[in-house]
Amino acid sequence: MPQVQKITSSEVAKHALAEDCWIVVNGKVYDLTKFAPNHPGGAEIIHQFAGKDGTKTYNMYHSKELIEKELVDEDKKGDFDESSIDSKWTDANKEDESAKSPLDPEQKPPLAALINADDFERSFEKYGPRKPWAYITGASNDLLTYDANKTCWHKLWFRPRIMRDVKAITTRTKMLGQEVTMPLLIAPMGIAKTAGDEGELALGAGAARGGIIHVQSTAASFSVEDILAAVPKTHPYFFQLYVDRNRKKTEELLQRLETMDQIKAIFVTVDLPVVSKREADERVLEEQKVSLYSGDGVTNKPDKKGGGLARTTGGFIEWQLTWNDLPWIKRFTSKPIVIKGIQTAADAKLALELGCAGIVVSNHGGRALDNAPATLLSLLEIRRDCPEVFTRMEVYVDGGVRRGSDILKAVMIGAQGVGVGRPFQCAVAYNTNGVEHLCDIFQDELETAMRLCGVTDLNKVRGDMQYLNTSELDQFLPPKPQTGLFGFLRSKL
């Protein structure tokens, strides 16, 4: 057998430019020149490691297999020659600032001290590394939609009924045919490893312990197979799909998922055709940035345009996806399809007409279009303008849901269930126990809210608005669409 030549550190170091960018990841050398502009996390983070070892940062965000799976053979240059590491290489790689973990265990409160969903985010703020903190908790532009998502839940008041026997209650229900202990989903979130080593494995296992369902993201930091293996085979999952601009990839992914019985539905995310501007995230990268070009340690802006923060590119997410593509998706899956990212009654109606099994009223947790309506307002708009949507398909809502009482409110409007994002991602810092603990908190708060409202069975109050007072929010709803002849004529204009 001929000896395969390994690639030395000095050879790798020669390819240290954006336009000629080799990186060492887990003992292998890759040419990321062509891939970097399409990297969903932005080109700059890749360019920071041109001619260097990016293993630590890569492993913090991605599964080991991802890079091997995603790159074409031509870009896999070969094995890195560890024996060639010299002081020059070691010095150059000292600059891996973003991999340095500013974790401060002293600041980490014990799990038992966390008693509500916000506590998980606060704990992560104190204890977690800065970059993941900015990535997870950040939102678009001025955070207007992010803030509105939360505050609208606060403006929806209950009208409790009293003197009812509330000893025995049940929160059990079904979601897309799957039995769950309460109508709560762990919303799909990319790269959960940023919050803790167990990443999506903790989300899946914690959800299973809590009797709820985790929607795993296309951009997960583990493979689907690894995530499924984290829970008993009987426990259901949902899968969130970002359609890839390379449609072949999506077809292959759907075909792979089709063989996995544990995956019970496909949630197609449609609210992020381009990645929005997440300023907190960009600012942190600016502070951590190191020079690509200066061999002498002077820190330059690595962006040729000069401004140079990690403006995420549109990445791999298909921006030409339209309603006409639904039949194409259905060709590759027999699983129920749920459209995630509905923000108006008009689009909810379209999803219904096109035979979707459900929708998620979502604005990506304020991480897509800033100034998009708070999801609770969109939910109320759908309730007002096309109530049939709630009975003819399953409606979910996410964005700012932080209390068990919010779950109850959503169900009373007619939702089948809610999704919760950021607090669960932060719970990953406490591994599976953290995720389970957060499920317990929601369960407990939901039961308490039900009892205090005089409700014993969630399924009996679904869509029953008599328990709610929406008057503080009604003023924020868009004008009612005109119906009758006048409306018809207008729609034709």
Ligand X SMILES: Cc1cc2nc3c(=O)[nH]c(=O)nc-3n(C[C@H](O)[C@H](O)[C@H](O)COP(=O)(O)O)c2cc1C
Q: Which residues carry out catalysis?
A: 364
Using CA atoms, how far apart are residues 174 and 172, in angstroms rounded to an integer? 7
Render 205-265 in DSSP notation, one character per residue: HHHHHHT-EEEE-TT-SS-HHHHHTTS-TTS-EEEEEPPBSSHHHHHHHHHHHHT-TTEEE
CA atoms within 13 A on the CB side of 406: 26
Q: Which stretch binds ligand X (CB under 6 A): 4-12, 158-166, 182-190, 291-299?
A: 182-190
Using CA atoms, how far apart are residues 367 and 184, in angstroms rounded to an integer? 21
CA distances from 300 to 147, 184, 483 (A): 35, 47, 60
Binding letters toward ligand X, positions 264-293, x by CB under 6 A: -----x------------------------
Residue number, nearest CB to ligand X = 421
Residue 41 within binding range of ligand HEM, rule CB under 6 A: yes
Identify which of residues 128 and 190 has a Cβ nearer to ligand X in the complex. 190
Which residues have CB under 8 Å from 25's CB, separation 6+? 53, 54, 55, 58, 67
Residue 420 within binding range of ligand X, rule CB under 6 A: yes
- Going by C-alpha positions, the residue among 424, 446, 447 that lies closest to residue 435 is 424
Identify which of residues 71 and 166 has a Cβ nearer to ligand HEM in the complex. 71
Distance in Å, CB of 35 to ligand HEM, minimum? 6
Distance in Å, CB of 458 to ligand X, minimum? 20
Contacts to ligand X from residues 294-353, by CB under 6 A: 340
Residue 196 within binding range of ligand X, rule CB under 6 A: no
Token pair for 210: 């809590």
- Residue from 12, 21, 23, 393 touching ligand HEM (CB under 6 A): that is 23
Binding letters toward ligand HEM, positions 302-341, x by CB under 6 A: --------x-------------------------------
Residue tagged 């009482």 (tokens)? 405
Strand, coil or helix: 76: strand
Residue 80 within binding range of ligand HEM, rule CB under 6 A: no
Handedness of CA 148, 154, 157, 163 (dihedral sign): positive
Residue 44 within binding range of ligand HEM, rule CB under 6 A: no
Contacts to ligand X from residues 141-170, by CB under 6 A: 149
- Going by C-alpha positions, the residue among 19, 293, 97, 46 that lies closest to residue 301 is 293
180 binds, among ligand X, ligand HEM, none (CB under 5 to 8 A by kind): none
Which residues have CB under 8 Å from 315's CB, separation 6+? 38, 39, 40, 41, 275
Q: Which stretch binds ligand X (CB under 6 A): 200-208, 295-303, 329-337, 359-367?
A: 359-367
Using CA atoms, how far apart are residues 260 and 102, in angstroms rounded to an integer? 39
Residue 40 within binding range of ligand HEM, rule CB under 6 A: yes
Residue 190 within binding range of ligand X, rule CB under 6 A: yes
Residue 398 within binding range of ligand X, rule CB under 6 A: yes
40 binds, among ligand HEM, ligand X, none (CB under 5 to 8 A by kind): ligand HEM
Distance in Å, CB of 376 to ligand X, minimum? 12
- Residue from 58, 89, 133, 442 touching ligand HEM (CB under 6 A): that is 58
Residue 121 within binding range of ligand X, rule CB under 6 A: no
Residue 253 within binding range of ligand X, rule CB under 6 A: no
Identify which of residues 23 and 426 has a Cβ nearer to ligand HEM in the complex. 23
CA distances from 189 to 1, 70, 377, 419 (A): 46, 20, 23, 11
Distance in Å, CB of 419 to ligand X, minimum? 6
Distance in Å, CB of 190 to ligand HEM, minimum? 3
Token pair for 135: 């990535």
Residue 184 φ/ψ, nearest 5 degrees: -130, 130
- Residue from 11, 121, 200, 281 touching ligand HEM (CB under 6 A): that is 281
Token pair for 482: 């005109």
Strand, coil or helix: 487: helix
Q: Which stretch binds ligand X (CB under 6 A): 60-68, 83-91, 122-130, 415-423?
A: 415-423
Render 171-222 in DSSP notation, one character per residue: --EEETTEEESSSEEE---S-GGGT-TTHHHHHHHHHHHHT-EEEE-TT-SS
Token pair for 400: 């700012």
- Going by C-alpha positions, the residue among 398, 149, 144, 130 that lies closest to residue 277 is 144
- Count interface residues toward ligand X (CB under 6 A): 24
Residue 219 within binding range of ligand HEM, rule CB under 6 A: yes
Q: Which residues bind ligand X (CB under 6 A)?
A: 136, 149, 187-190, 217, 219, 240, 269, 340, 362, 364-365, 367, 398-401, 419-422, 425
Q: Which residues bind ligand HEM (CB under 6 A)?
A: 23, 25, 35, 39-42, 45-46, 49, 54, 57-58, 61-62, 66-67, 70-71, 135, 190-191, 219, 281, 310
